[in-house]
Amino acid sequence: MFRVKNIQQKIVLTCLTCAAPFILLLLIDIILGHSLPDHFVKTYIPIAIIASTIIGAYGGLRTSLPLINLAEEIQKTGRANVDKYLESSPYIEVNVLCNALKTAIQNYDKQLKYLKGMVDLKKAVNSTTNLAEVEKKAERKIAELFGAVAVWILLYNEKSHLLEMHRIYCKKDYQKIRILYRDVKTKPGKGFSGKVFSLQKEIIIKNIKNTNIPFKEVLADFNINCLLGLPLSHKDETLGVIGLAFRENITLKTAKLINVYTSQIANAIHNANLYRFLENQADKLVMLHGLSLKLNKYLDEEKILKVLLKGAAMLTGSNYGKICYSRQSHPLQMFSYKKGKNRAYVKQSTLTSREQDLFKNKFSNRKITYFKSDKLKKELDLARIHNFPNYLALIPATSPYHHLNCFLIIGKDNVFSDTDKAICEILAAHAVVALINARNFNQEHHIADTLQSSLLPSLPSHDQVDLGFVYRTATSGAMVGGDFLDFFTLDNNHIGLVIGDVSGKGIKAATSTAKAKNTLRAFAYENPLPSEVMSRVNNALSNEESSFEFITMAYGLLDLSTGKLSYVLAGHHPLLVYKNLSCELLRLEEGSIPLGVVENENFKQGQTYLLEDDILIFYTDGLIEARNSDEMYGLARLEEKIKQLCDLGPSAIVNAVIADVEHYTKGELADDIAIFAIKVKSLKTSQDTLFNQVGVAQYKESIN
């Protein structure tokens, strides 16, 4: 059977249909041997054929033209005003086509709306890594797309094992629902959302009046008739549930369509959770790094214990903590961690004998142990303690070789995560190292301090001079330096004055100090001339494979008969001389390089004269380089202080200077300090005789 397949065929068929009667007459005439009149055949039949053809063509075009125009409009714009063609065309087939096209366009618009909604939703929820913002934008977009009057999200909390709702989106006239369902929490498998989470598939509740869901009367008052619950799943993990409330019942097809959107929401929630986790981990790593630096910075064991306890509790989110520390010949130390409303703090505490026995048994295997506190509460009768944690971690930081026993106990309400456990292991290792370092440092500090103290000279009693000195070691936590000082009588008229600083710290520096001090004394007794003594000491030290790099030293030889001071500064700071007659403070700055740097060095020797009541000051760099938070103490401040103290005796002067330095640094000395002062009480040779022996001009030049 012949079928019309396109418009062109229909036009041809219409023309043939109109012309068919005339063509038939023409054929009959031919068959009958041209019995029809000639004028009829030659005139009317052709005219009729042409007229019928024109009529058929006109009818075909009239039928097809609307369709052609419609097709051209769709081709140009991708859309068409179908209603215009429905009104202008009287033909049924055009109307049928237009109605079909209209339905197709409506479906296309609907699909385009959902597709655009999918893009907008994806863009909105992925534009932020804040979980609350993701939930807010997702709820709003889903409500707008599908006409829901309320949308809420419940997310599963691994710590509480509950589904928790933090917010709910409602249209303007449905705000009461938000109040009713605010901060809802439910267990998986319980209630509407719990069942959706457990079954991991969509659930539609229609005609909610006939159900037993909470607040169904209130929902009915708002004409809410349908609830939809969908699981929020990312790969194989169910993150939570999204719920929607509708006034009209929805179809399963709509539910399936909404379910497609939830995959985007679940993906955004997963990313936000991951970002929050990584951000939290990054914060913890920074805190852990800072804590490790603190542990290795402090050299006081009590400070280390407090920092360790507080840091471990904060990093693991614990609300309870204790730390026990014991070592040979030392009593047990105990500290407790308390977390208040505004701050956390650590204070001294004690353990009962029952607690000590129990914890010793727990720590017998020297491994970190995690357990629920129920049994411990009974064993220790801890039920009386308010808010005692549900889970405890017992962390040993021990070293049998060093006789070190440190036990850390922290507790929290939730199970310790893998991250918490990793932090505990790292802290235990860092704590052992820090405590061993602190103990070794304190032992070495004590030995070096004792050695340094044993090298300090005793104050000689002398009729012609008055002496005073102070040697102050660095505060706890700083290494003992190599500062030393010495004064000795060479004969009835000469005394040697020495101050120096060996580079380096600790026992090695103290040992080198003793060597340098005794070497100088030995050479001074053979030939006391400062330049000669320094050259011999320098060569002796340069030839040795010693542990020190160099020594700065000031050596002075004072002639008590004339007041003549010969001195050498080997890389040392200037000596200070207070001239009593002129009330001036002078610097003696004639210097050379430090000892032990270059062999066979010729050291420059300076000289001056001291009169009665003149004061000579020796000091090490630890004094003028002492710092507060902003700047060093400095030589200018030292000179000003000495001018204020010039009427005092040497002992009072040096003690007052040290007190001022300690006040300036708030008691924190980073280096050792040595200072001594010598005041001339009398000279054996009178001033007139000195003028005659030396010459007035030369004498005045030397004292100025």
Q: Which two tokens stand for residue 46?
A: 């052709």
Where exactly are the structural domains of the chain? 7-108, 126-270, 298-440, 456-703
Tell me if 481 sits within 8 A of 672, measured CB to CB.
yes
The pLDDT tens digits for 607-654 are 999 988 999 999 999 899 998 878 899 999 999 999 999 999 999 999
Q: 206 pLDDT band (50/70/90 cuts)?
A: confident
Q: Which two tokens stand for residue 651?
A: 């002992």
Q: In 3-state terms, what secondary structure has residue 470?
A: strand
The pLDDT tens digits for 480-527 are 567 888 889 898 889 999 999 887 666 677 777 778 888 899 999 999
Mean pLDDT of the chain: 77
Q: In 3-state terms, what secondary structure has residue 87?
A: helix
298-440 and 126-270 share a CATH fold: yes
DSSP-assigned letters across all residues of 419-460: HHHHHHHHHHHHHHHHHHHHHHHHHHHHHHHHHHHHHSPPPP
Q: 4 pLDDT band (50/70/90 cuts)?
A: very low
Total residue length of the chain: 704
Tell me if 125 sits within 8 A of 142, measured CB to CB.
no
H or E element: which one contains 146? Answer: helix 131-146
pLDDT of residue 1: 44
H or E element: which one contains 168? Answer: strand 162-170
Q: For domain 298-440, give the CATH superfamily.
A: GAF domain (3.30.450.40)
In percent, the amount of the chain with pLDDT more than 90 equals: 17
Q: What is the CA radius of gyration of the chain?
A: 51
Write the CATH number of the domain with boundaries 126-270: 3.30.450.40
- CATH class of domain segment(s) 456-703: alpha beta
Task: Round to the nearest angstrom and report the end-to-end CA distance of the chain.
Answer: 138
Q: In 3-state terms, what secondary structure has residue 544?
A: coil
Backbone angles phi, psi at 389, to 5 degrees: -65, 155
The pLDDT tens digits for 310-329 are 888 888 888 878 887 776 65
Q: Which two tokens stand for residue 239?
A: 């993150």
